[in-house]
Amino acid sequence: MAEDFAVFAEARLAEAQESAQGVIDGDYAGNPTRAEMELREIAAKRALLSEHAPDYIGMFGERREARCQRCITDRNPYPECWEDGPYPCQTLRITFAVYDSDPDYRPEWASSGEAVNAA
């Protein structure tokens, strides 16, 4: 599932980048300043994907279900929190919830919190 989520997220970011770059390059009528902000947002989301990459190695070197390497690291001082959730982590679930209407978005990627896209 971790690879599927990463592929999905990167595909959505690539689509957004192509659209924003088209505005900047003059291919579409739009606001180039807004498009430049969109490109910075895409870069920030890619940085989050990288920072919260999946980790498949357990404490004793065994292969396990993917877990977020950042969220595991941040929990080290709290041994009672070693049972973290599956990948994608809550940070990525919230960040990419904006794509929940995409036909390739999977229900298991939804945030466990309140609705993010409430209008």
Whether 78 shows a pLDDT value over 90: the answer reads no
Residues 27-73 pLDDT 10s: 666 667 888 889 999 999 999 999 988 887 766 777 778 888 777 65
pLDDT value, residue 119: 45
Question: Tell me, what's the pLDDT at 28?
Answer: 61
pLDDT tens readout for residues 91-116: 899 999 999 999 999 999 998 764 45
Q: What is the DSSP string of 27-55?
A: SSSS-HHHHHHHHHHHHHHHHHHHHT-EE
Its pTM surpasses 0.85: no
Q: What are phi and psi of 77, to 5 degrees?
A: -70, -5
Q: Is it the case that residue 24 has pLDDT exceeding 80?
A: no
Which positions ≥6 away from 66 have C-beta within 8 Å?
1, 2, 54, 55, 56, 86, 87
Could you give the C-alpha distances from 47 to 20, 26, 29, 61, 97, in angstroms and in order?
18, 27, 29, 26, 17
